[in-house]
Amino acid sequence: MAAGVFCMCGIVGIVGSNAVAERLVDALKRLEYRGYDSAGVATIHNGAMDRRRAEGKLFNLEKRLDAEPLPGNTGIAHTRWATHGVPNVTNAHPHFVDGVAVVHNGIIENFSELRDELTAEGAVFTTQTDTEVVAHLMAKYLREGVEPRAAMLRMLNRVSGAYALVVMLKSDPGTLMAARSGPPLAIGYGRGEMFLGSDAIALSPFTNEIAYLVDGDWAIVTRDGAEILDYAGNPVERPRQISQTTAYVVDKGNHRHFMEKEIYEQPEVISHALSHYVDFASNTVGDNAAAIDFKSVSGLAISACGTAYLAGLVGKYWFERYARLPVEIDVASEFRYREMPLSPSQAALFISQSGETADTLASLRYCKDNGLKIGAVVNVKESTIARESDAIFPIMAGPEIGVASTKAFTCQLAVLASLALGAGKARGTITPEQEKQMVRHLAEMPRIMSRVLNLIEPQMESLSRELSKCRDVLYLGRGTSFPLAMEGALKLKEISYIHAEGYAAGELKHGPIALIDENMPVIVIAPYDRFFEKTVSNMQEVAARGGRIIFITDEAGAAASKLPTMATIVLPNVDEIIAPMIFSLPIQLLAYHTAVFMGTDVDQPRNLAKSVTVE
């Protein structure tokens, strides 16, 4: 799986028999839920390639097209969320180089190396984006006499990252070429015309017959059909399916449930979130993390409910470790009634996916009445919590349909990690080199998440069959793995209805150990970190009493522990700053597959609602 930090940009392409510009823009409108800061469209007409681009909303692009129409029956279009390069017309897609047009969702991880190489060969770059190297590589190979298919394949084998790409060539006006390595990309089948899009909702006005590319696929699309190949150039088959658009702005794609789809969207949405808070070109925390003056505050209060509260608990570890900032945290339903003494010298963060959670909103108002600076970590920037806050920290997760939060949770973690690093930078508690190193680790996270999802899926599905037979499950962890233990237990009971509890591993002997017998699964979350040896000692106590251990660790942890387990899930070795996001994946998949095996309503579990707006 390729790597990178990528955004939720929107891509549409049409190879047709009639003018496409207006239809391309209409399709982009269906992708506006993803968020964007600029847009563009390009077509080929009478042997010439032309484009219109605009900063801001699609309305601005439509105005340009009204003033300067864009004829042509083949075209590509894009809504961009800036990662490399500021949001302006110059950096907006499509990018043009010598008869090559490219739209791109994602990040080219080795763009600096490629850019230096191409510049040394005489290439002139006109944008700040990483995408431009794709167009320059294609143009270079075509100038060297490489035929288009071979040039596309050669380019794909030079770039690394997580990306969805569509390439249009002036020399071949009846063809689009596309590739996927990470972000979604779908082919739509029409009559005498063909389509490409970031998801089925973009293509629904044109067709309901869809084939989804999988990672490592690339395709050659003409108005008569599509040929799909792997990166070795071998043909592959991808099933066509009928897409049923619903009242939701997204559909399930290839997935059985929205929850599964949202689990697999996490590398993409994490990238979207991170791109808002860190500068990957300089490996520094951006200005968005400074919306609260962390340098001057004496302490931080955090409050939330459910999964958002558990994200806040992980955040507490980060703020205290990296920013040396004391943190007071409680669930919102308790926080608001504790009458906790507060000072205007403190700041407060409130975490909510919907931004409408009643207890969290009441706690926010309590802090505001006490003169605190308020920050909102929310998924809906227009929500009540966001509107009543001094600073908004959007998590950029996109619509989350499944009631049991997955991608919103990891996006909350990504934002809190960025804010904690920003606070540490402002307070002088991390050095510039530490900042750069940790931002580099954050940049690697989407690639690692994609790899983990592909790596552990079969094992999680198999293990869930055993877990579905159990009535009770314990989860254990230390440090930031303690909130993950509680999150794992919450996920399992939310959607499978199996009773589960999460504990700090050090608390095992203070009560929960009484429950251990040969029928009790104990899920231990233990990356090989500074807590590892202590956690293994708690595992030994479980093993001595016949407990069935499911050990979630990394390569170093698996090598260091020789205890017998019911199963060991081995993840890649990662830095502590990203471990909570990476280790969230197996606990999500384990809960999901257990619920599926038991036949429960995964997306809408009983008695639960997506947004709790009453007390």
Sheet with 217-222, side-by-side order of all strands = 95-97, 100-108, 161-169, 175-181, 217-222, 225-230
Whether 470 sits among the annotated catalytic residues: the reply is no
Whether 252 sits among the annotated catalytic residues: the reply is no
Q: Which of the residues 7, 9, 367, 411 is marked catalytic?
A: 9
Q: What's the per-residue H, E or C state across 228-274?
A: EEECCCCECCCCEEECCCCCCCCCCCCCCCHHHHHHHCHHHHHHHHH
Q: Residue holding tokens 């969702």?
A: 105
Q: Dig out the tokens for 122 from the structure.
A: 């005489």
Q: 192 near 172, Cβ under 8 Å?
A: no
Residue 262's nearest CA partner among 614, 610, 613 is 610
Sheet with 38-45, side-by-side order of all strands = 48-55, 38-45, 74-80, 10-15, 194-197, 186-189, 209-212, 240-242
Q: If you count them, how many residues does the chain have?
A: 615
The CA-based angle 410-80-46, given to 5 degrees, is: 145
Q: Dig out the tokens for 373 from the structure.
A: 């600076």
Q: 243 near 219, Cβ under 8 Å?
A: no
Q: Residue holding tokens 């010298």?
A: 345
The greatest distance separating any two alpha carbons of the chain, rounded to the nearest whole angstrom, comes to: 79
Q: Which of the residues 170, 381, 436, 610 is marked catalytic?
A: 610
Q: 187 near 219, Cβ under 8 Å?
A: yes
Which residues, other chains included, contact 397 with Cβ-Cβ below 8 Å and sequence gap of 6+?
Answer: 269, 272, 273, 353, 379, 407, 408, 411
SS3 401: coil
CA distance linking residue 531 with residue 111, whole number of Å: 37
Which residues, other chains included, contact 43 with Cβ-Cβ below 8 Å and sequence gap of 6+?
Answer: 20, 21, 49, 50, 51, 70, 71, 72, 73, 74, 75
Cα 278 to Cα 127, 164, 339, 597: the distances in Å are 19, 22, 36, 40
Residue 459: count of CB within 10 angstroms of its CB? 17
Residues identified as active-site: 9, 610
